[in-house]
Amino acid sequence: MLSHYLKTSIENIQDLIELTRQDIGDIKIAKHVDIFQRTKIKSDLIRAFESKKSLLDNELLKLVRDSDGKELEEVLSSDEKYLLSEMKEKLSQLKSINKEYARFVVTVGEFYNSLLDKVFPRDMEGYKKSIHKPASLFKIRA
């Protein structure tokens, strides 16, 4: 059962990596609708991974408890050790690709915020930002 949980967890992580790579490609060419459509898929994958990780943790605890004082490394098969190391590697890949994606998201967010501030300037009260005031180009003079 442990091997099954590891394999499916690795598949979920790999799917998240691929979807994030697609998001990076789409954010570069401003296909934001496609990114938003993948958000639900990614959320479902994250929930599935968290569920499998909880089951995986329970299996590992059960193995350690039933091992008569042996260390986890001694109880796991070579296949399970390999899958654990592969899962760690995939999580590391996901972390680095998420960092790359986050840089794009922050940059795009800053661009849109600065554009919004130029079109609809804000009244500033010290360090506290207040609401946007109406832009003069939208005033109607009769």
pLDDT digits 0-9 by tens, 13-60: 999 999 999 999 999 999 989 999 999 999 999 999 999 999 999 999
> What span, in angstroms and rounded, lies between the C-alpha atoms of 19 and 55?
24
Helices 78-119/2-28 angle, 10° precision = 30
Domain boundaries, the chain: 2-138
Q: How confident is the model at residue 134 (pLDDT cuts 50, 70, 90)?
A: low
pLDDT of residue 12 exceeding 60, the answer is yes
Q: DSSP assignment of 41-80, as one string?
A: HHHHHHHHHHHHHHHHHHHHHHHHHTTTT--HHHHS-HHH
Q: How confident is the model at residue 130 (pLDDT cuts 50, 70, 90)?
A: low
Q: How confident is the model at residue 117 (pLDDT cuts 50, 70, 90)?
A: confident
Instruction: Give the CATH number of domain 2-138.
Output: 1.20.58
Q: Where does the chain have alpha helices with state H?
A: 2-28, 32-65, 72-75, 78-119
Say what the pLDDT of residue 57 is.
Answer: 92
Distances 73 to 10, 58, 64 between C-alpha atoms, Å: 20, 16, 10
Of 20-29, 114-123, 124-133, least confident by mean pLDDT is 124-133
